[in-house]
A and B are shown apart, each in its own frame.
Chain A
C-alpha cells in the first residue's frame, strides 16, 4: 500500500512567533509582518496551536485522515524577515527543533531545512549541517528575501550547494515585497487569493529565464499550488522565448518547458481541483507531481478526498500520493526505519 506523504506542511516554533511578535510591534509594514501581527494578536489562535504542535495532536490529526507522513516546513516567511545573523541563528534553532520531532516520530515526519538566504555562506553551512548532520530532506526558501530573488548571483552558492548535495529547494510562497505590492493591497489580494502565486510564479520564471538551470543543470526546485501558474502558461512561455531567443540564448539554451520538465516538481497544495490537476498531468506527466495539504492553512479532509476520489490510473495516483515524494525527498520506507 502506497504511503500518503503530504509535502507542504507548516509548523512554527515558539521562538519564531515571539520574534514575529516583536517585529510586528516595531511598526514595520511589510505585508508578511502585518499578516503575522494579526495572527499573533490572537485572531487565529487555533491555527497557532496547530502550527506549534509537533507531537500527539498533529499525529492524531494525520491518523484521522490516514496521512502517513508530513514533510514539515517552518511556516512562511520563515526567518527571511530578520537581519542576516539573527536569521541564521533562528534557522539553526528551528532545524534542531525539527530534527528532534523527526527523531521522536521517524516514520511520521520528514522535514525541510530553513535557511537565511541573505547570509549565503551561513545558509550553505546550515544546509550541510541540516542534511548531512540532522538528516533533513531538503531546503525551503519562502520566495523573495528583502525583494531579492534566487537568480541573483549573491544566492548562487546556495543553489550550487543544493545541486552538489542533490537536495531539492522548495520555493514556498510569501507576500509580494512591500515595494512592489501596492496594486495588490487595496483589495486584499496580496495573499493566497492571487498575490502569493504572482510572487512565486515570477520567482520561478526568473530562475528559468535568468539562466539558473543552465548554470546548475541538476538543481531540483519544488513549487506548490500546482506550479504557481507555470504549467498553465507553458505554451506561451515557450512561444515568447522563441521570439526573444536571440537575446536569451546567450545564457539559456533550452526552452522554458524543458527546464520545467527537467528541474521542477510541483505539488497540489491549496489546489484541490481535479480539473487543474488533470491539466497539469497532461502537460507534465504524473512523475512531476506531488500531493500536499498545506496544513494547517487548508482543509486536510478536502485535500485527501479530492485525490482519493479522483478517477485516475492507480500507478499515477500512487506516485502523486507518495511515490514521487519518497524518491525526490529520499523519505525512507518504514521497513528501513523500523
Chain B
C-alpha cells in the first residue's frame, strides 16, 4: 500500500538575523501586542520558548528528523510571524531579501523536502512587489506570506495595491498568517494574554480576511488566491451570516458577487492548529475539499498530532488526498510525484 504524500503548508522557520532584529526593536521600546510573546521567546526561560526557538532556527537537522519520524514528505516554509513587518522599512526590505535567498538555497539542497513562501515588507509596497517578482521568477519560491497587519494597517488599503498587482500578474498565492491584534483593537485582549493563539490571532486575521472580502479586492483581481490558516480563521463558520448581513447591510463598496462566492473562488484554507474533525467536515461540506490544505504549524504545534488527525479523520479518501497534497501541488506549483 502506498502512503499518501503529506505536504504541510504553514511551517515556520527563523533566521538569527530576524530574531535579533525583532528583539532589538522591542528593546528600543517599539512595543505592540506581539512584544510580550517575543520577549518571552528571547528570554528563553521556559521549556516551550527554548524548544520552539531551537526548532525555528534549525533548518535541516532536527526538522528533517521530525519530518522523517512522522512521514511528513514536505514542509512549505515561511519566515515566522511577524516576519519583517515590525522593522523599519529599509531594514525590513534587506532582511526579506536575505531570508528569501537563504530559503531558496535551502530548497535547492532539499528540493523534495521543502517548498517556500517569500517574505516581503508590506511597509515598502513597491519594494515588496519587486521582491515578489524576484522571489517567484528568479528564486522559484511558491507564493508569498504576509503576517496580517503592518504597523496597524490592513491590506485592503490603497497603498498595498502594488503587492496584489504583482501577485495577480504572477498567479502566486498570498498566505495571510496570524499575528497579535493591531494596536487599535488589542487593549481588551491583553489582560489575560488573549492576544495570542488562544483567541487574538483568530480575531485579528479573521477580521483581515473579512476586510479583503468586502473591500472589492477580488473584483479588481479576480484570479487572486488568498490562503488563511486555522481552518479559515473563523470565516467558514460565519459565512452564512456574513452573506446575510452583506446582502441586507449598507456596505460601503458595491461588489459584483456574494461574499461566499469570493470565499469559495479566491480563498484556500489550511488546517493549521485546528485538528478538529467536526470543523474539517463542516469546511469540506461548505467549501469542498479542493479548498483545504493540510498544515502543522511546526514548530509551534505538534507534528504527530497533526499527522494522526489527518490520517484518522473520517472523510472520503479522495478528500484526504486533496487536503494532504493535491491542492498544495496545484496552488503552490509543487511537482507531483
Query: Do B191 and A187 touch (CB < 8 A)?
Result: no
Q: Is the CB of A193 within 8 A of B278?
A: no
Enumerate chain A residues within 8 angstroms of B46, measured Cβ to Cβ: 246
A236 lies within 8 A of B282 (CB): no
Would A183 and B252 be within 8 Å (CB), given that A240-B198, A275-B285 are in contact? no
How far, in Å, is A246 (CB) from chain B's closest CB? Answer: 8
Task: Collect the chain A residues with CB atoms within 8 Å of residue B240's CB.
Answer: 271-273, 275-276
Taking the nearest CB of chain B, how far is it from the CB of A176, in angstroms?
A: 7
Question: Which residue on chain B has the smallest CB distance to residue A273?
Answer: B240
User: Judging by beta carbons under 8 Å apart, are B282 and A275 in contact?
Assistant: yes
Cβ proximity bits A103-132 to B, threshold 8 Å, 1 near / 0 not: 000000000000000000000000000000
Known: A206-B192, A236-B197, A243-B48. A194 touches B182 (CB 8 A): no
Q: Assess the A235–B276 pair: CB atoms within 8 A.
A: yes
Q: Is the CB of B273 within 8 A of A189?
A: no
From A179, A194, A279, residue with most partner B Cβ within 10 Å: A194
| Given A244-B198, A279-B282, residue A188 in contact with residue B241 (CB < 8 A) | no
What is the minimal beta-carbon distance from A247 to any residue of chain B, in angstroms? 7
Output the least CB separation between A63 and chain B (Å): 25
Cβ contact within 8 Å between A191 and B249: yes
**A187 near B252: Cβ-Cβ < 8 Å:** yes
A236 touches B274 (CB 8 A): yes
Contacts of B215 in A (CB 8 A): 187
Given contacts A180-B185, A189-B214, A243-B48, contact A205 B199 (CB under 8 A): yes
Q: Is the CB of A188 within 8 A of B251?
A: yes
Q: What mask results when residues 178 to 221 of chain B are scored 1 for a CB within 8 Å of chain A, else 0?
A: 00001011111101111011110011001100110011000000
Q: Is A241 an interface residue (CB 8 A)?
A: yes
Q: How far is the CA of A279 from the CA of B199 in the complex (A)?
A: 20
Q: Which residues of B contact A144 (CB under 8 A)?
A: 188
Do A282 and B278 have beta carbons less than 8 Å apart? yes
* Chain A interface helix/strand/loop/mixed: helix
- Quick check: B194 and A202 within 8 Å, CB to CB? yes
**B199 in contact with A183 (CB, 8 Å):** no
* With contact pairs A272-B240, A275-B282 given, residues A233 and B185 touching in the complex (Cβ less than 8 Å): no
Check: A237 CB closer than 8 A to any chain B CB: yes
Q: Say whether A192 faces chain B, with CB atoms less than 8 Å apart.
A: yes
Task: Please indicate the chain A residues that have their CB under 8 angstroms from the CB of B238 in the complex.
Answer: 194, 197, 229
Q: When the two chains form their complex, are residues A209 and B275 in contact, meaning their CB atoms are under 8 A apart?
A: no
Docked-complex contact B274 and A183, CB < 8 angstroms: no
Residues of B within 8 A of A66 (CB): none
State whether A188 and B188 are in contact (beta carbons under 8 Å apart), knowing that A193-B246, A236-B273, A272-B240 are contacts in the complex.
Answer: no
Closest to A256 in B: B198
Interface centre among B182, B185, B203, B240 (most CB of A within 10 A): B185
B187 touching A180, Cβ below 8 Å: yes
Q: How many residues of B contact A (CB 8 A)?
A: 54
In this complex, which of A187, A202, A226 has the most chain B Cβ atoms within 10 angstroms of its Cβ?
Answer: A187
Cβ of B193: which chain A residues have Cβ within 8 Å of it? Answer: 209, 244, 247
Q: Is B198 within 8 A of A189, CB to CB?
A: no
Residues of B contacting A180 with CB < 8 Å?
A: 184-188
Please tell me if the beta carbons of B249 and A188 are within 8 angstroms of each other in the complex. Answer: yes
Q: Across the interface, do A194 and B210 meet the contact criterion of CB distance under 8 Å?
A: yes
Select which of B210, B279, B301 is within 8 A of A193 by beta carbon: B210
Q: B49: shortest Cβ distance to chain A, in Å?
A: 11
Q: Is the CB of B250 within 8 A of A198?
A: no
Interface string of A173-207 (1 = CB under 8 A from B): 00011011111101111011110011001100110
* Cβ-defined contact, B237 with A229, below 8 A: yes
Q: Report the bound CA distance from A182 to B196 in whole Å.
A: 20
Assess the A187–B156 pair: CB atoms within 8 A: yes
> What is the CA–CA distance of A179 and B206 in the complex, to the nearest angstrom?
20
Contact A193/B241 with A180-B185, A187-B253 known, Cβ cut-off 8 Å: yes
Chain A proximity of B77: nearest CB distance (Å): 22
State the CA gap A241–B186 with chains docked (Å): 19
A275, B286: Cβ atoms closer than 8 Å: yes
* Known contacts A192-B245, A206-B191, A229-B234: A176-B48 contact under CB 8 Å: no
Asked if B325 is at the interface (CB within 8 A of a chain A CB), the reply is no
Q: Can you show 27 pairs from A to B with CB atoms below 8 A apart?
A: A144-B188, A181-B184, A183-B149, A183-B154, A183-B211, A184-B185, A187-B156, A187-B211, A187-B253, A191-B245, A194-B238, A202-B189, A202-B203, A209-B198, A225-B241, A226-B237, A229-B234, A229-B238, A234-B276, A236-B197, A236-B230, A236-B276, A239-B275, A271-B241, A272-B240, A275-B286, A282-B278
Interface residues of A (CB under 8 A from B): 144, 147, 149, 151, 176-177, 179-184, 186-189, 191-194, 197-198, 201-202, 205-206, 209-210, 225-226, 229, 232-237, 239-241, 243-244, 246-248, 270-273, 275-276, 279, 282-283
